[in-house]
Amino acid sequence: MKTDDRVALDEWYAVETATAVTAAPVVTRLLGQDIVCDRLPDGSPRVRERLADGFGPPLPVRERYGCLWTTLGHPNRDVVAITEADEADRRHVPCGWVKMRTSGPRVVENFLDMAHFPFVHTDILGAEPNTEVPAYASEIRRDVDEVWATNCSFFQPRIAATETEGDFVRLTYRVPSPFVVMLYRVCPSAPDRLDAIALFIQPMEEELCRAQPVMYLVDSCSTHTALLNFEQVIFLQDRIIVENQRPLRLPLEPRHEIPTRADKSSVVYRRWLKEKGLRFGTVGHG
């Protein structure tokens, strides 16, 4: 059943790969509501709610970052801005949708978590004995209403698809909306620039979602297959973890789960969601 959570309804969501939307209707689900995506004869995209007696009126729609975006409500701002997407020399690598039996906020929190790198992404994003997460800063940036984690660093055996040697990598995390999270890392082949990796989450039900990593990389030598494989291996490893976390919905009250120093960005993200009043995919709100 479609949620009545106004906070969730009033967000933009990536719901399909733009090239997969044709004149033939594609049915998917968003926030407990069936929606249908297709294209009109002039090629413009259309998204509608599928109702018991037909279809609802066309919903707002955008084509950005290789995806079709829509909303079931009335967002007070546009789809998240990713400036790296406008830089012509970057590789745009959409990595494909992965469905997961968990909540969208759990997926965001996992993306923010560096402590699991050595144990889940062994010999790729982390390795023992380098398991400590150095201190970093995390905050709600009130001027843009986003969560940021800065001055993050971690030892990674493979810092990118182009690299075979390990090093300490500087990372910055950004959560521009409750269901979009981004990672910026120094580009090995162009140290004065940052690679950008976004994760677009489509919350289908409270405990079911789809997500797609989309990369904007400064990389002129890797094959598309190598880039895709590098990210897909990581994401499928994450899928196993988030599907086994309990509860599946993200607890917003601090007493439910005891954080460590490494969980600072998660603590701030949860506080931000609680301030917003988001209920969809969470527990312990009050």
pLDDT tens across 62-79, in order? Answer: 999 999 999 999 999 999
266: left (phi over 0), alpha (psi -120 to 50) or beta: alpha
Q: How far is residue 53 CA from its own chain's centroid? A: 34
Structure tokens that stand for 139 in this block: 């905050």
CA distance 252 to 136: 22
pLDDT for residue 174 is more than 70: yes
Dist. CA 231–CA 214, nearest whole Å = 9
Spatial CA neighbour of 269 closest among 109, 107, 81: 109
Token digits of residue 91: 């590789």
- Determine the Cα–Cα distance for residues 112 and 116; give it in Å rounded to an integer: 10
Interatomic CA distance for residues 190 and 84, integer angstroms = 14
**In angstroms, rounded to a whole number, what is the distance separating the alpha carbons of residues 124 and 96?**
20
**Domain 6-70 top-level CATH class:** mainly beta
| Angle at the Cα of 116 from the Cα atoms of 112 and 120, rounded to 5 degrees | 120
- Helix then strand then coil, % of the chain, to nearest 5: 20, 40, 40
Give the mean pLDDT of 238-256: 80
Give me the mean pLDDT over the 182-208 stretch. Answer: 90
Query: With bands split at pLDDT 50, 70 and 90, how would you rate the model's confidence at 254?
Result: low
Give the pairing type, strands 250-251 and 282-283.
parallel
Q: Is 193 helix (H, G, I), strand (E, B) or coil?
A: strand
In this model, does residue 249 exceed pLDDT 80? yes
Q: Which amino acid belongs to residue 166?
A: G
State the chain's maximal CA–CA distance in angstroms. Answer: 60
The pLDDT of 96-122, averaged and rounded, is 76
- pLDDT recorded at residue 143: 97
Residue-level pLDDT at 53: 92
Q: Beta partners for 149?
A: 138, 173
**For the chain, how many residues are written?**
286
**Average per-residue pLDDT for the chain:** 85
The predicted pLDDT at position 165 comes to 65
**Other C-beta atoms lying within 10 Å of the C-beta of residue 185:** 18
What is the pLDDT averaged over residues 198-211?
A: 96
Give residue 225's pLDDT band: very low, low, confident or very high (50, 70, 90).
confident
Is residue 279 predicted with pLDDT exceeding 50?
A: yes
Average pLDDT over residues 229-245: 73
**Stretch 78-100: mean pLDDT, rounded?**
92
Question: Which pLDDT band, with edges at 50, 70 and 90, does 219 fall under?
Answer: confident
Residue 128, CA atoms < 13 Å, CB-side half-sphere: 2
Q: Is the pLDDT of residue 20 over 70?
A: yes
Q: Say what the pLDDT of residue 124 is.
A: 47
Contact 251, 257 (CB under 8 A): yes
Query: Considering the domain 91-283, what is its CATH architecture?
Result: Alpha-Beta Complex (3.90)
Domain boundaries, the chain: 6-70, 91-283
Q: Would the pTM of this model clear 0.75, i.e. be above it?
A: yes
Confidence of residue 148 (pLDDT cuts 50, 70, 90): very high
Contact criterion met (CB below 8 Å) for 102 and 85: no
| pLDDT tens profile 120-135 | 434 444 445 555 656 7
CB 268 within 8 A of CB 178: no
State how far the alpha carbon of 200 is from the alpha carbons of 79, 83, 179, 229, in Å: 11, 16, 7, 18
- 224-243 and 104-112 are packed helices; what angle lies between their axes, rounded to 10 degrees? 120
